[in-house]
Amino acid sequence: MRAGADARRRTHPRRRHPIWRVAFAVAGACLLVIVAGEAHRLIGDEAERSGIDAFYAQPADAEVGDPGSIVKATELSGTPLLSRAWRIMYRSTTAAGDPVVVTGVVVSPGIPPLDGPRTVLAWAHPTTGAARECAPSYGFDPFIGIEGLRMLLDRGYTVVATDYAGMGTDGPDSYLIGGTEGRNVLDAVRAAQTIDEAHAGDEVVVWGHSQGGQAALFAAEQAAAYAPELDVVAVAVAAPAADLGALMKDHLDDISGVTIGSYAFTAFADTYGDSVPGADLSDVLTPAAQQTVPEMNRLCLLSHLDELHRIGEPLVGDFTSVDPTVTSPWRELLAENSAGAQAFDAPLFIAQGTADQLILPRSTEAFAAHERSLGIDVTYRPIDGATHSTIAYEALPFLDLWLDAHVR
């Protein structure tokens, strides 16, 4: 009996693990890889903080060179999983054509492409503030604010993200100055092309959120004349600050209007005050606001929101001395820096949250209709319940499918 039983035990098929155990083991291994990758990223980010201010100091000849040429670049170690990245300082121009130096980051899949240069995704970030320290590339994790970065890298894109002029390094204030922001976006693509290991090609997708939506649209509108060697194949925006007159009118008497206005009117006065009569801060802001906005402009939106609101709340109802949406020259300057003045030869994806209380759905719907009237191929995607903060992330699955249909 014992020998027979032993034989049966020896010949009995080995019991197999249930499929859920295999799946659990695979998931666990993937999780370990992700955790290890994030740990490497955080360690690298911490190491890169040492001496970071030296990178943002401009050399004496920083402005001398062609738009898009590199002033300096340094490879980063705290990068997203399976990628390479660089912090860059590059040359660009303002809306008036003056030379300016801008900073940003480039991030590309770590494995070289097999089929030629990569499509470049030019990311235009939403409002982070106006002070130098509010630049995304200057932050502890310079990639965290690039909405959809993992998806974009997985699509094989090289991603470049400008800080815009006046942030990161010395330069003119460019907040909501559409022409300057758009040129900064395009020149960031040119800068990425000079980094051989980034494998950046001429085909460009532009993607922006809020302020960045305005910048992305201006980049598309200016590309043919300003950077004709670039082929803008698709443009995507989430809750774009497209119509500045409507944006200001919607928020003249609330804290959003005070916060946005503190950044915007300062930038407009800096940009136009010497050349446009009546474009001084004293021509649009109350004495109380003139006294307060310099303090607000030193604060970054994301890290100091509570303090910004504390400082700005007393100005609600006592911020502007005139209605800038109907008073010259502010009415004309807001129009000049609103998107939609000209068509571009690329399909346009527009996402809008139905619960957005900053960029109101009716404004974005009207802008989408306007772009269609120019002959642009517009896909308008309202997303139920999405807010201004969440719209770009909630739009990513729809954006991914749209890119599949519109980009080779």
Torsions phi, psi for 236 (to 5 deg): -135, 135
**What's the sign of the alpha-carbon dihedral 382, 386, 390, 395?**
negative
**Domain ranges for the chain:** 52-243+338-406, 245-335
The one-letter code for the residue type at 111 is I
Quickly list H helices, 114-243. 149-154, 178-193, 211-226
Whole-angstrom distance, CA of residue 26 vs CA of residue 32: 10
Tokens found for residue 257: 């209007």
Closest listed residue to residue 297, CA positions, set 173, 200, 177, 150:
173
Closest listed residue to residue 159, CA positions, set 79, 56, 72:
79
Other Cβ atoms less than 10 A from the Cβ of 51: the count is 7
Closest listed residue to residue 256, CA positions, set 387, 374, 150, 132:
387
Beta-sheet strands, E only, within 130-280: 158-162, 200-209, 231-238
The pLDDT score that the predictor gives to residue 34 is 47
| DSSP H/E element including 379 | strand 378-383
The pLDDT score that the predictor gives to residue 8 is 44
**What's the sign of the alpha-carbon dihedral 132, 138, 141, 147?**
positive
What is the reported pTM?
A: 0.89
Q: Which of helix, strand or coil describes residue 49?
A: coil
**Superfamily name and number for 52-243+338-406:** Alpha/Beta hydrolase fold, catalytic domain (3.40.50.1820)
Q: What is the pLDDT along the chain (408 residues), one digit of tens a residue?
A: 444 444 444 444 444 556 665 555 555 544 454 454 555 555 555 556 567 999 999 999 999 999 999 999 999 999 999 999 999 999 999 999 999 999 999 999 999 999 999 999 999 999 999 998 999 999 989 999 999 999 999 999 999 999 999 999 999 999 999 999 999 999 999 999 999 999 999 999 999 999 999 999 999 999 999 999 999 999 999 999 999 999 999 999 999 999 999 999 999 999 999 999 999 999 999 999 999 999 999 999 989 999 999 999 999 999 999 999 999 999 999 999 999 999 999 999 999 999 999 999 999 999 999 999 999 999 999 999 999 999 999 999 999 999 999 997
The pLDDT score that the predictor gives to residue 27 is 53
The pLDDT score that the predictor gives to residue 166 is 97
The pLDDT score that the predictor gives to residue 25 is 55
